[in-house]
Amino acid sequence: MSRDEAEMEYLKIAQDLDMYGVNYFAINNKKDTDLYLGVTALGLNIYEKDNKLTPKTTFPWSEIKHISFDDKKFVIKFVDKTVTNFIFFSPKGMNKLILDLCIGNHDLYMRRRKPDTMERRSEETAELLAEKGRVAEEEASLLAQKAADAERENARLRLSAIKTEEEKVRTMLTCLVIN
């Protein structure tokens, strides 16, 4: 497998492990409660300040429609319009880093959900083998037709040879009778 495929296979396994690739950022909610934002390959997690292991709230990438920030204010909009936007505040210098990390992890999430290259190759291989099978059947049919034609031609030539022999025998008998 290629290097890219190997990296993707590694990430598929590793990113499902607890705490793998969680990047923590100190944030505050609207009530000014100290929290942590955890950006992961599977989505965004909100952790209480004293517990980075168990998320208080989880937002999978599949449910997130849009993330934006303005100054210190971050807004997470959801695919389901009935769900209220989640708003939090982060230190001003961290906004671009958080957004870039979200974009990168979301992109990886989307790439991971595409059909595996190996699966696509297997499907392509199966299609090619099926096509080769059809071509082989057509070739076998043509060869069978040619064999039947050759057999008919062989039978015609044998009959012609027998007729030629009969003519020779008649000619010899005629010569004998005349002499």
pLDDT band at 132 (very low <50, low <70, confident <90, very high): confident
pLDDT in tens, 15-67: 676 667 789 999 999 999 999 999 988 899 999 999 988 999 999 999 999 99
Residue 23: closest CA among 91, 100, 138, 124: 100
Residue 94: closest CA among 144, 171, 24: 24
Long-range contacts of 42-50 (CB under 8 A, 24+ apart): 42/15, 42/16, 42/109, 43/109, 44/76, 44/102, 46/86, 46/88
Domain extents for the chain? 3-114, 119-179
Q: What is the pLDDT of residue 24?
A: 92
Q: What is the pLDDT of residue 119?
A: 65
Which of these ranges, 68-72, 114-118, 160-164, has the smallest mean pLDDT?
A: 114-118
* Both tokens assigned to 64: 């997130």
Q: What is the pLDDT of residue 19?
A: 66
Query: What's the pTM?
Result: 0.55
The CATH class given to the 3-114 domain equals mainly beta
Please check the confidence at residue 94 and state whether its pLDDT lies above 90. no
Q: What is the pLDDT of residue 26?
A: 94
